[in-house]
Every structure is written in structure tokens, then in C-alpha cells.
Amino acid sequence: MRIELWADPVCGWAYIARRRLATALAEWDGEPVELVWRPFRIDPTAPDPAVSAPTDEDAFGIARVAAAEGLGPRWGAAWRGDTEAAHRLLVLAFDKGGPELQDALAERLMRAHHIEARNITDRETLTALAAEAGLDDAGELLDGDAARTTLREEMLRGKAIGVTSSPTFAVGERLLRGAQTPGEILDFLRDSNDAVALPEEVRRLRHAEALLGLNDPLGALVLLRPLLDDFGRDPNVRMLAARAYFASAQLRRAEEILSELVEANPGDFYARYMLGRTLRRMGRADEAAPHLALTAEMFG
């Protein structure tokens, strides 16, 4: 079973959730579990470079909970900054060393931020922490564009399945939000034991459609790009791309795909309806009229 933990390393509750997961897994008697960290940014407006973090009154309450989980004795962030680079390193750690290396890096980042009061947005600090966890050449990797595309896709996938906070556990598309107790985590794992792993291309298509439903057509197109490369003639992929192009006002691209779909299958009335809407929106009402007339009864 794969458990995904959608979280930000600067989220104190994520650190607590990881400890509670470990407690739960000590009592788990099901199939072997693989933990994979996924990105969620709790403060997308955080500055780069980082600034000193203001005193957070809620931190005192979290500190007591953290202490009960064996985290401390000191607790509290000293810096507020953009965690994009840290998330990229977590993606790279998974690519290079799998879940174990990634989890070791996540642990090191969280300890540095919450207990050692270090700035985990600083490149030198990140490079040193990554090396301690077993990921070499982190500085060189961060200087380039490594993992940017994967990071963006993963954040869009989280949005598509309904991840709205850090931490969130996921098995397939079943979610458990927050740093729940070990007992609640165990119940979640047992309830998720029969989750079906979908093929990657099916999962991408479903997530792209979900993003379109969330009014994020550009995000949908990001997830569709590999499918268009590998399954570019599949009508389901092409129709979803056309809808995303239409919703993002890329009307010429929408027209091109829809015209081809209608030509290939004149009885595809939804494609014809969308083509009519696209042509009308482009100011070509005369060309749109025949398509819309044929589909008026079904799509109004």
C-alpha cells in the first residue's frame, strides 16, 4: 500500500503527523506500506529570501503536542520563507533514492526548521541538510530546473484530488486530513486497504478533468501534455484538451481539435456542439449556426 503525505516541511502539524503515522504503522498488520511525501505549500506568499518569523501564539500549544510525540525540547520556527526549493529536493530525493531517502530528507528538513531554528530556504543550508540525509549534489541540482515540472504536476494533482491543507494523508484518492491520532490513522488504512491503483494515464485524465471542473483549465493542460504526446489520437484525451483550450480562451487550438473530431465522427454531437460554441465565440456566427442547429435539442 502506498500512503502519500501531502505536507509542507514548515508545517508543525506535518511533523507531528509523521510521528503519529510511525506509531500507527508499528501496530499495522496489513500489507507492506510505502510512504511518499507530496508537496503542499501552506504559505505561497512567503518571501524569498526568508525573513525572521514573528512569534506565533499558537506555537505554544503545538509545542506541547510536539513534546508528547518526542519532538523537542525546543520548538518553534525562526524563519518564514518560500519552500519551493525544499519541495524540489524532496521530489529529487524520491527520484534518486526512493521513499526511504525522501523520508530521511523530510525528517531532516523538519527537524532543522522546527527544532534547530534553521533557515531551510537558504541554499547552503538545504545543500548541507540534503547531504546529511544522503542526497548529494543538492546545490548543483537546485541551481538548474531539476524537478520543477514534476513539482508543478504534483501540486496540481493534489488540487485535483481535494488536498486543501497540510498535512493530508492519501491512499489512492481517499483522504485523511490533519495530524490525526494513531488509532484514527489505523482505521483510515484499514478502510483504504482495498483501494485500486489506476493506470497512470487513466489517473492523469481523471485529474485533468477534475481541474477543469475546478476552473483551472491551464492546470488541466499541464497534466494533459504527456497524454497528448503519447495518446494524442485518443478522442477522450483530445476532447478534454479541446474543452480546456476553450475554457482558457485558446480558441484556435480548440477549433483545430474539434474540427478534426467532427470530421472523424460526424455523429459526435458533443464535439459538434463545442465546435459551434467555439466558432460563435470567435465571432464566426454563420459557421457556428449549422453545428448549433443540429445539437440544439440535446444541448440547448
Q: Is the pTM of this model over 0.75?
A: yes
Q: What is the pLDDT of residue 300?
A: 61
97: left (phi over 0), alpha (psi -120 to 50) or beta: alpha
Amino acid at residue number 30: G
All domains of the chain, ordered by start, with CATH? 2-191 (3.40.30.10), 200-299 (1.25.40.10)
Q: What is the largest CA-CA distance in the chain?
A: 74
Mean pLDDT of 253-265: 97
In 3D, which of 16, 158, 163, 7 has the Cα closest to residue 83? 7
pLDDT at 55 over 90: no
The C-alpha cell that represents 104 in the structure block: 530521511
* Contact call for residues 155 and 84 (beta carbons, < 8 A): no
pLDDT at 57 over 80: no
In 3D, which of 238, 237, 231 has the Cα closest to residue 253? 238
Q: What is the pLDDT of residue 58?
A: 67
Determine what percent of the chain is predicted with pLDDT higher than 90: 86
Q: What is the pLDDT of residue 80?
A: 94
Q: What is the pLDDT of residue 154?
A: 97
At residue 299 the predicted structure's pLDDT band, cuts being 50, 70 and 90, is: low
* Contact call for residues 83 and 120 (beta carbons, < 8 A): yes
Kind of pairing between the strands at 79-80 and 168-171:
unpaired
Provide the angle, in degrees to the nearest 10, between the axes of the packed helices 123-133 and 84-114.
80
- In tens, the pLDDT along 125-182 reads 999 999 999 999 898 888 888 899 999 999 999 999 999 999 999 998 899 999 999 9
- In tens, the pLDDT along 193-229 reads 777 778 999 999 999 999 999 999 999 999 999 999 9
- In tens, the pLDDT along 240-253 reads 999 999 999 999 99
Judged by DSSP in three states, 24 sits in: helix
